Structure 1
Amino acid sequence: MVKDATPVWISLPINLGRLADIGEWDQNTGGSSSLLYSVGAAATIGAMGLWWMWSSRPSLKKITQLVDPDQQTRELPDGSRVCKYLKSDALMRFIHSDAKTVYEAVRRGARVSNNGPMLGFRNNHGEQYEWLRYTDALERSGRFARAMRALGLPVGQQCFVGIFAKNRPEWVLVEQAVYAFNNVLVPLYETLGPDASVHIVNQANIELVFCDAIAKTKGLLERKSACPSLKFIVLITSANEELDDSVREDAAREGVQLLSLDDFERMGLRDEVASMPDVPPSSDDLATICYTSGTTGVPKGDVMFSFLPLAHMFERVMQTAVYCEGGSVGFFRGDLRLLGDDIKTLRPTIMPVVPRVLNRIYDKMMAEANKSILSRLVVDAAVGLKTREVNNWIVRNNSLLDQIVFKKVREGLGGRVKLMITGSAPLSETVLTFMRCATGAIVCEGYGQTECVAAATITIEGDPIPGHVGAPAPCCAIKLLDVPELNYFARDGAGEVCVKGTNVFRGYYKMPEQTAETLDADGWLHTGDIGRWTQQGTLKIVDRKKHIFKLAQGEYVAPEKIELIYMRSKYVAQCFVHGESLKTCLVAVIVPDPDVFPGAVKKALGIEGTMEELCQHELVKKLVLEDMHEVGKKAGLFTFEQAKDICLCAEQFSVENDLLTPTLKSKRPQLKAHFERELCTMYDKLE
């Protein structure tokens, strides 16, 4: 477990430039069960004709293009590329001169919003969101910061503070409190596992941890003997979770001072610390150590929904950009089953999302549409017509088709979403185009890693071409290096993606050898991903350098590339491709989508049953494998890259069963061990 918790050493200047298993999500947001079943066919066709004439009018406003969409990057003398948005070869370090750090960004937000709402929360179903304004948030975080001084924590970069909590307003208050005296924030999260939490506390020499649940507090106390540096725990509990005497006794026995958040905050009012001035960081100071396996210029009044873990850099960067512009962030209640209700109540205008969420929305809509020939024809026609607008750089949600066909999708997202940014994993071209049509929102796709503070590239607003991840962010340059063993060469516009700029991390904390493997002497971050420049000067991720293996006949195989292709099959939700150096072919474990698979199998074969029963049926397996081969052939897979046999599994890969990392990437060693019997059976049968 600890191996998956690689510490990334990051400073956070504001420099991105302009531009999960989701539980019950589909119940509350994705359904389009009333597409237009109450609308007659003739009326529908007539309405679509009127809409088509309306949509063809030249007066529809197009999105302003920041750069020439046909040439979005330019080449520097060293062969690297930068976004054409830059007016010189110098990379952007910050957007606003008064917001060079996360500390400064929030204070700028307070000014430009005129003390507007900053942090939103709700406790119970039926309640509206309550808001903490910027000055109130800064006052509370100031008391937190001074309470740390009252505990004896030092000022400056040598002090590391842990937070072990789900997304909530207090998470941001603690973060700002840490930065107020130039300390360093270290997030922990449950999915790394208890052993990794101990490793983090020890490696960062953490004395103070903020916890949002008694269970997490007990877990740390049970392992206190392995965490000698831990001295203080501040418990952020909900209204219905009170601190009992047994936990206090456990803490006292382990020599840990346990404080409620209220008691801790009152310590910040003590005379000896209350008047202490802030000691803010500079843009070159260390902000956070992130353990892990944007658009700026946000208009005032925008609201972002927060549910992706704040322990990940993607969510942190998005929130910082919103605060910098005086926007607001509303937090989900911490229960994924209530996510849809929280979204509908908050009605956000900005949403960071991961492909898994968008895939579920798309799959649910298509499953409903496939219930009748008419509804599928209408949806396909609506997507086709709106795609014409999207391809013409027109984004809107006020057409007749928006009101008839796509209304449920928008309402499921609150009805006000204007900007969605997706990252962390590739998104299929079909789903991306559908979401742009159905939401009438700007949907941008980004690419990056924790090691480059989440974002290395991002698509420009309104770019209609799917299948790429945009141009380099203005804060960095990108170059491609030869990978001869996979036949990728920079002279052909392909190779390993390398990133250099102010967003690149300093290195892995206390791990110089691993740092040297990833960060070269010239400051280039070697990502391990294979990219290709498109004709438009944007980057397309096509392969992975890591996890490459050689088959018995000497052919190199990149399994992650194959998995991404197979996931385009309508039957495949998750995929694990496996091969061995002593074998001549590949096999795969396939997890079908439970929302789509039973209906698709019934339609194709007339076979019904539970997910478990269908996954054991030989005809069903044959159907899925044939479709995978067809998808692979269309994508250009070589014969040796096609799986020769598959095993269907009803249980999804997840963080909980230790088959996915917290960022929802496959844990290949764990997958191999988990399915060892099935893999051996497939190879035995093939031989």
Structure 2
Amino acid sequence: MSDTQKSLIQRVTMAGIVMIDKIRNMDYLKFLGAGAVTLAAVTTTTFYYLTSRPQPIPLVVDLNDQTEEVDKNERSRMSRLCKNGRYICEYEDAEIKTLHDAFKRGARVSNNGQAYGWKPSPTEPFTWISYNDVLVRAANVGAGFIAKGLKPENTTNIGIYSQNRVEYGITEQGCYMYSMVLVPLYDTLGHEACTHIINQAEISLVICDKIVKVKALLDRIKEMPNLRKVVLVEEPSDEIKESAANHKIDLFSFSELEALGEQNPQEPKPSKPDDLCVLCYTSGTTGLPKGAMLTHKGTMATVVAAATILKPGGIDISPEDTLISYLPLAHSYERLLECYCVLNGARIGFFQGDVKLLMDDIKELQPTLFPSVPRLLNRVYDKVMTQLSEGSAIKRKLFNMAIASKENELKKSIIRNDSIWDKVVFKKIQAGLGGKVKLITTGSAPLSPKVLHFLRCVVGCPVVEGYGQTECHAVCTVTLVGDPDTGNVGPPLPCCQIKLADVEEMNYFAKDDKGEVCVKGPNVFLGYYRDQAKTEEALDKDGWLHTGDIGQWLENGTLKIIDRKKNIFKLAQGEYIAPEKIESVYVRSPLVAQVFVHGESLKSSLVGIVVPDPDVLPNWAKTKLNVSQSMEELCSNADVKKEILADMTKYGKAGGLHSFEQVKDIFLHPDLFSVENGLLTPTFKAKRHELKVKFKSQIDEMYTQLA
């Protein structure tokens, strides 16, 4: 290229950038009304590309061959990163083996940098506490536990009933410093489940963040004979003090616990690698929750394996990074991410506790690491698409051009946020996430390929999707940085192997690369706390964790989740649903003869196919609505549908259903499900697959109306 050509490129590029800077200061998408802008953006893109020459993300393995078979009999597969069938599960520094070791390393590599941040009030900026200060306060908390009569042993379980906050992290580190076990409690468990956990784990002390949670415990304290001490982070009121005293409960503040420990220091007794770190009770769908026994070794193995995938792809976590903590710490997904951060000395900023203020927190904190779930990412997508649909045709044209350009780069494993399209079209979207995000992770439920692809184009950073469950320390597969494909959950983490087991009753066979997903490796949990029967259901004699999900190996060696072995599924927000339980509640309504509850992992709500009781509905409709019609006509009557849905919702509330367990729309069908019409088994159980197929169009229509 001649000097004259280079000079021309530089002049046009600079002119384009000046124009872009002016455009950036206008409201998002409002600048797109003039054809001249479109022409300028396209022209500038060409010249800018010639001077910027983006480089692809380094790939850790061949994207067309991401796994290898390691056991011909089991047909199990491992990541191509694993050599000679060996797991990658130990940190490069042999001294780092526990979560306590990880936090101390974070303090060292950050040079005692900022660890935890919070907003004292909505009008105040984030306030930070250093790593060493956390360790000092954690030692005081742990010593305070001991001063209150708790033993520094791995059989001592500490309950914590709190939103994400600084005191949560300090308590966690205090437990690890003295070999104790953290047991999270959370609101959606319900009173019966919460009582079960406290009793089964023999918890004598619970830390609560707010007075209302202390009241909830005191209301049923007679059912929990082991619970004798409650720590309150919020300043205790005279009323709650009196109530606790009347119940003979030792209530004291978090600051008093710290002061007690400071006055009675104890020599640390740190956890060992095989010790339990957390009893993570799964909310489940039927029956009482089960306590998954998670270890320091298992958590570290998962973190190390994840880092092995992310770091070569340019995601190197350091003290310069910030994570926004808003996903519940009671769940393994968030806990794993925070361990990854503190190991590398990054800082963690806690949201204010109000999801309505989350975007404000994000804009102020400017996180570089953004863990998320489909429900939130779907909102980002919907908001942008709504804005776009309300704009002009030329706006949509330019947006689509930007997407197409980014798509071409993604196919070449190019991920960046400094293209012309980023500066002109996507800057506002990226700013909405703080403007500095370099990694987005999504888990807990599947993310629509459409939304995942959109995000990878517009956010300018890697967006990876993981699959797993509490029983494998949150994750066992993750999509690779730089892989543009969607519709799969990636290869196994290098700390485990995965096989697909035959499920004959559903016609899934391992020889066809389909079957139940089974996981084996150091990231698999020890079992369910004090529940051998449930443990044996989940873990077979050879150590394979049976997930209950049906998977399929794709040609490139990645895993795709295609079904569920049992009639249990997740909604988009990650909530588990047991449809039979819900159906058993709804049929209590005298108007309902039969009901089929349906949900999908890409949807956030349930819908239902309802057969009204033919002996009840006609008379009811005549009395209630002054309508005399045939069953077919009544089932098409909008007022009848509205009344039946309201009645079902009433019975649902009375039956203890959560809001997410209530159907949001129904279709009324006049004919009973039967063995003869193929919708019931010979034992009169619903044939769910057949029902889903038969009513597919009605289900699709309901979800369209709910969108």
1:88 to 84, 87, 109: 84
**Post-superposition shift, 1:210?**
0.4
Q: How many residues align?
A: 563
C-alpha contact (below 8 Å) 2:33/2:394 kept by paired residues: no
Q: Partner of 2:262: helix, strand, or coil?
A: coil
The offset of 1:483, in angstroms, is 1.5
- Distance 1:578-1:175 versus aligned 2 partners, 3 A rule: farther
* SS of 1:90 mapped into structure 2: coil
Q: Which has the larger radius of gyration?
A: 2
What is the deviation of 1:461? Answer: 1.2
Between 66-75 and 144-153, report the one with greater CA deviation: 66-75
Q: Which residue number in structure 1 is paired with residue 460 of structure 2?
A: 440
- 1:162 & 1:476 partners in 2: Cα distance? 30
Residue from 481, 486, 489 that aligns with 1:461: 481
Query: Is 1:182 aligned to residue 179 of structure 2?
Result: yes
* Structure 1 residue 450: Cα displacement: 0.7
SS state of the match for residue 563, structure 2?
Answer: strand
Partner of 2:262: 269
Report Cα offsets for 1:201-228 as digits up to 9, x if no partner: 1110001100000000011111110111
Shift in Å, 1:192: 0.9
Residues 1:235 and 2:232 aligned together? yes
Q: Quick check: 2:375–2:604 contact (8 Å CA) kept in 1?
A: no
1:48 Cα deviation after fit: 2.5
CA contact (8 A) 2:144 2:260 kept: yes
Contact 1:543 1:560 in 2 (8 A): no
Change (3 A) 1:145 1:562: closer
3-state SS, counterpart of residue 61 of structure 2: coil
Aligned in 2, Cα 1:442/1:655: closer, same or farther, shift over 3 Å?
Answer: farther
The 1:332–1:493 alpha-carbon spacing in structure 2 relative to 1, beyond 3 Å, is same
- Give the Cα–Cα distance (whole angstroms) in 2 for the partners of residues 655 and 110 of structure 1: 49
Aligned mate of 1:40, from 22, 34, 40: 34
Distance change (3 Å), C-alpha of 1:478 and 1:133: same
How many Å separate the matches in 1 of 2:529 and 2:180?
15
Contact 1:52 1:385 in 2 (8 A): no
Distance verdict in 2 for CA 1:244–1:648, change over 3 Å: closer
Q: Kindly provide the amino acid, as one letter, of the partner of residue 261 in structure 2.
A: G
SS of structure 2 residue aligned to 1:172: helix
Cα pair distance change 1:302/1:95, threshold 3 Å: same
Q: CA separation in 2, counterparts of 1:383 and 1:437?
A: 6
SS at match of 1:92: coil
Structure 2: segments with no counterpart, 5+ residues? 1-25, 285-302, 308-315, 569-578, 581-595, 612-635, 678-707
1:242-281 matches, cutoff 5 A: 242-270=235-263, 273-274=264-265, 276-281=266-271
Structure-2 separation of matches of 1:331 and 1:299: 18
- Relative to structure 1, the CA distance from residue 647 to residue 69 in structure 2 (aligned partners, 3 Å threshold; closer, same or farther) is farther
Q: Is the 8 A contact 1:443 1:462 kept in 2?
A: no
Distance across 2 between alignment mates of 1:277 and 1:617 = 73
Q: Give per-residue Cα distances to partners, 1:626-650, cap 9 Å, x unaligned.
A: xxxxxxxxxxxxxxxxxxxx9999x
SS at match of 1:445: strand
Q: Distance in 2 between matches of 1:223 and 1:563?
A: 36
Aligned mates of 1:169, 1:104 — CA distance in 2: 19
Percent identity over the alignment? 42
Looking at structure 2, the residues matched to 56 and 193 of structure 1 have their Cα atoms a distance apart, in angstroms, of: 60
- For the residue of structure 2 that corresponds to 1:362, the secondary structure is helix
Equivalent residues in 2 for 1:584-595 (5 A)?
A: none
Maintained 8 Å contact 1:185/1:288: yes
| 1:378 corresponds to | 398
Q: Give 3-state SS (helix, strand or coil) of 1:287's partner.
A: strand
Correspondence 1:344 to 2:363: yes
Matched residue of 2:546: which SS?
Answer: strand
Counterpart check, 1:287 vs 2:287? no
Q: Which moved more, 1:484-493 or 1:111-120?
A: 484-493
Distance 1:198 1:419 in 2: 38
SS at the partner of 2:381? helix
TM-score (norm 1): 0.77
**Which among 420, 438, 452 is matched to residue 400 of structure 1?**
420
Using the TM superposition, name which of 375-384 and 385-394 deviates more.
375-384
SS in 1 for 2:120: coil
Tell me which residue corresponds to 1:574.
605
Q: Which residue of structure 2 lines up, in the alignment, with residue 202 of structure 1? A: 199
Q: Would the alpha carbon gap of residues 685 and 49 (structure 1) be closer, same or farther in structure 2, given more than 3 Å must change? A: farther
How many Å separate the matches in 2 of 1:132 and 1:544? 44
Look up the match of 2:322: 303
Give 1:42 shift.
Answer: 2.7
Identify which range, 502-511 or 331-340, moves more after superposition. Answer: 502-511
Partner of residue 66, structure 1: 60
Using CA pairs under 8 Å that are at least 6 residues apart, name the structure with larger relative contact order, 1 or 2: 1
The amino acid that maps onto 1:87 is K
Asked if structure 2 preserves the Cα contact closer than 8 Å seen for 1:362 and 1:431, the reply is yes
AA partner of residue 268 (structure 1): G
Hey, what's the Cα distance between the residues in 2 that align with 1:263 and 1:448? Answer: 39
Mapping for residues 14-29 of structure 1, pairs under 5 Å: none
Q: Does 1:216 align with 2:213?
A: yes
- Counterpart CA distance in 1 for 2:545 and 2:610 is 29
User: Who is 2:543 aligned against?
Assistant: 523
CA distance in 1, matches of 2:28, 2:496: 46
Choose which of 133, 138, 159 in structure 1 pairs with 2:130: 133
| Residues 484 and 363 of structure 1, relative CA distance in 2, 3 Å threshold | same
Secondary structure, aligned partner of 2:600: helix
Q: Aligned-pair distance for 1:85? A: 1.0
Deviations along 1:577-600, one digit per CA (max 9) or x if unpaired, are: 6699xxxxxxxxxxxxxxxxxxxx
Query: In 1, Cα distance between the equivalents of 2:262 and 2:415?
Result: 51
Question: Residue in 2 aligned with 1:627?
Answer: none
In structure 2, distance between residues paired with 1:280 and 1:535: 46
Describe how 1:600-639 pairs up with structure 2 within 5 A: none
Partner of 2:669: 682
Paired amino acid for 1:154: K
Question: What's the CA shift for 1:45?
Answer: 3.5
Letter of the 2:58 counterpart:
T
**1:360 has 2:379 as partner:** yes
Is 2:32–2:38's contact at 8 Å kept on the other side of the alignment? Answer: no
Is the contact between residue 55 and residue 389 of structure 1 (CA under 8 Å) also seen in structure 2?
no
- In the TM superposition, residue 244 of structure 1 has moved relative to its aligned partner by 1.6
Moved more, 38-47 or 415-424: 38-47
Cα distance in 1 for partners of 2:455, 2:597 equals: 25
Cα distance between partner residues in 2 of 1:112 and 1:657: 53
The superposition leaves residues 398-440 of structure 1 with CA deviations (integer Å, 9 ceiling, x where unpaired) of: 1121122111111111000000110011111111111111110
Give the 3-state SS of the residue equivalent to 1:358 in structure 2.
helix
How many angstroms does 1:89 deviate by? 1.1
